[in-house]
């Protein structure tokens, strides 16, 4: 029975920071199935020596069982880790040392990632995409190392990393997941940037419109060309559109003729009404 369980444990990945939590959980399950879990929860041998120092048989049996628990642990650690615990005599003291080492490393790793998340902040909409990419990468690295954050914690970091103009548009409800939130932020930020860029282009095009008014309109003759705000622009325009005296005079004559016809037409309407 012991051999089978031991072989099963030996097939586990060697303990490292990345899989520490999984390793500990599987170790506890295996030792429980072998009725050896108490040897990592308490220093059984030391307790027996204090309580029943003369009960040599029980102490001897406890030492044998404790050795089995130690063997399970030894089979899942590398040589470097083994050297750091080689002077420890019980499964309890060995696991205690390993917990101190790996849990301290995990806490340091957790604090490092949390610190990185707190520092992330998009200054404007165009920085949102890079910031979201960095957040996703950190979350992925944390999960790979079994450093898990709750949905609320992840959501809070995302919200805090967004510019205020984006924060105002974030809506979070019970159905919102971390992935769906990131997707929504990307989509409406992309749309807003597109609309803003389109609006800017239209304003620029409007300012740069140098087309003259209809030359057939007499009122446009003395009107400034649209979009021409200084002498240089007017000179540039004239250079591209040379003055033609004959066309100019023709436009004046045609405009006068149009106005004359309109006046005659209006007089006739007035006479008809008075009649």
If one counts the domains in the chain, the total is 3
d(CA 130, CA 133): 5
**CA nearest to 39, candidates 1, 70, 3:** 70
Written as one string, the DSSP assignment of 10-31 is HTSPPP-GGGHHHHHHHHHHHH
**CA nearest to 252, candidates 222, 211, 212, 210:** 222
How sure is the predictor about 274, in pLDDT bands with cuts at 50, 70 and 90?
very low
Q: Model confidence over 87-115: pLDDT tens digits?
A: 899 999 999 999 888 887 777 888 888 99
Pair 198, 245 in one domain: no
Residue 89 is assigned to a structural domain of this protein: yes
Token reading at 29: 């399950």
Length of the chain counted residue by residue: 275
Residue 126 is assigned to a structural domain of this protein: yes
Is the per-residue pLDDT at 214 higher than 80?
A: no
Q: Report the pLDDT value the prediction gives residue 226, as an integer from 0 to 100.
A: 47
10 Å Cβ neighbour count for 208? 10
Q: Which residue has the higher pLDDT, 34 or 141?
A: 34
Q: Domain span at residue 161? A: 120-207
pTM of the predicted structure, to 2 decimals? 0.51
Pair 224, 170 in one domain: no
Residue 32 is assigned to a structural domain of this protein: yes
Pair 167, 186 in one domain: yes
Q: Model confidence over 154-210: pLDDT tens digits?
A: 999 999 999 998 888 888 888 889 999 999 999 989 988 888 888 777 777 676 655
Pair 12, 85 in one domain: yes
**CA nearest to 25, candidates 104, 101, 99:** 99
Q: Which residue has the higher pLDDT, 38 or 201?
A: 38
Q: Model confidence over 1-25: pLDDT tens digits?
A: 344 454 444 445 566 666 777 888 8
Token reading at 137: 């990468």
Is the per-residue pLDDT at 67 higher than 80?
A: yes
Residue 182 is assigned to a structural domain of this protein: yes
Residue 111 is assigned to a structural domain of this protein: no
């Amino acid at each position: 029975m012991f051999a089978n369980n031991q072989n099963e444990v030996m097939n586990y990945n060697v303990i490292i920071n990345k899989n520490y939590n999984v390793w500990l959980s599987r170790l506890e399950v295996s030792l429980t199935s072998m009725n050896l879990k108490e040897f990592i929860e308490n220093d059984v041998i030391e307790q027996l020596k204090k309580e029943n120092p003369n009960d040599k048989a029980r102490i001897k049996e406890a030492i044998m069982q404790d050795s089995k628990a130690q063997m399970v642990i030894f089979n899942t650690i590398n040589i470097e880790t083994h050297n750091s615990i080689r002077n420890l005599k019980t499964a309890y003291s060995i696991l205690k040392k390993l917990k101190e080492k790996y849990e301290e490393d995990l806490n340091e790793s957790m604090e490092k990632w949390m610190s990185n998340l707190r520092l992330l902040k998009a200054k404007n909409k165009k920085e949102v995409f890079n910031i979201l990419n960095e957040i996703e990468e950190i979350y992925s690295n944390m999960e790979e190392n079994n450093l898990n954050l709750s949905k609320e914690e992840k959501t809070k970091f995302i919200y805090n990393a967004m510019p205020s103009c984006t924060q105002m548009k974030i809506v979070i409800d019970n159905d919102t997941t971390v992935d769906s939130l990131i997707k929504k932020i990307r989509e409406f930020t992309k749309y807003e940037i597109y609309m803003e860029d389109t609006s800017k282009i239209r304003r620029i095009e409007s300012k740069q419109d140098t087309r003259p008014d209809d030359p057939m309109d007499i009122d446009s003759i003395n009107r400034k060309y649209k979009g021409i705000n200084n002498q240089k622009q007017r000179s540039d325009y004239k250079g591209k559109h040379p003055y033609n005296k004959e066309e100019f005079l023709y436009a004046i004559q045609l405009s006068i003729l149009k106005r004359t016809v309109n006046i005659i037409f209006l007089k006739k309407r007035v006479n008809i009404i008075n009649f």
